[in-house]
Amino acid sequence: MDLVIFNKAAAFCAYQERTHHEVRERLRKWQVWGEAADEIIAELIVRNFLSEERFAKSFAGGKHRVKQWGRIKIRQELQRRGVGTYSISEGMRELDETAYREGLQKLLEKKAGQLSRTEPDRRMLQMKLMRYAIGKGYEPDLVRQFSEKIMADK
C-alpha cells in the first residue's frame, strides 16, 4: 500500500465525513484503482477514518437542521450517493420525530406568511404550501395534515 496516497486519503476523510464511493472516486482521480484502492479503503475503515453509518447520521441530521429537508429527500440523496441500506436506516434514526414535526410546522408557517401576501385564494395557498413541503422531501400525508391545520388557524 502506498503510504503517501493513504495519508492523502486519510486527510480527505478527516476533513469531513465521506462515503465509500466518494473516496473511491478521489482515489481514481489520484490514479489509484483496483486492489490498491480496495486496500486503502479497507485500511481507512479499520482505522475509523471512513464510516458510511457515521456519514449517513451526519448527513441526515445536518440536511434536516440546516436545509429543512424531509425524510424522502434525505433518503433519496443518500441512495444517490451509494450509501448502503443499513447505513441509510441508521442515518434516518438520527431524525427525532418531535423535532421533525416541529420543523415541518415552522417551515409551513413561514412559507404561508410569505405566500399569503401574494395569494388571496386560500385553496391555491394550501396547494402551494403542500407542493413546497413535498418538494423539500416531506411525506405527503404529513404535509396535508399540517397544511390543513395551518389553514384552519388563518
| pLDDT value, residue 112 | 92
- Scanning the structure block, which residue is given the C-alpha cell 434536516? 64
Q: Quick one: fold of 3-46?
A: Arc Repressor Mutant, subunit A (1.10.10)
Q: What average pLDDT does the chain have?
A: 94
Asked whether the predicted pLDDT for residue 127 surpasses 70, the reply is: yes
Q: Is the CB of residue 72 less than 8 Å from the CB of residue 137?
A: yes
Q: What is the mean pLDDT of residues 6-23?
A: 95
Q: Which residue, 152, 103, 102, is CA-closest to 126? A: 152
In the numeric block, which cell numbers belong to residue 52?
A: 458510511
What grid cell was written down for 111? 412559507
Task: Look at residue 154 in the predicted model and tell me its pLDDT.
Answer: 65
> pLDDT grade, residue 62 (50/70/90)?
very high
Whether residue 153 has pLDDT greater than 90:
no
Residue spans of the domains in the chain: they are 3-46, 52-92, 97-153
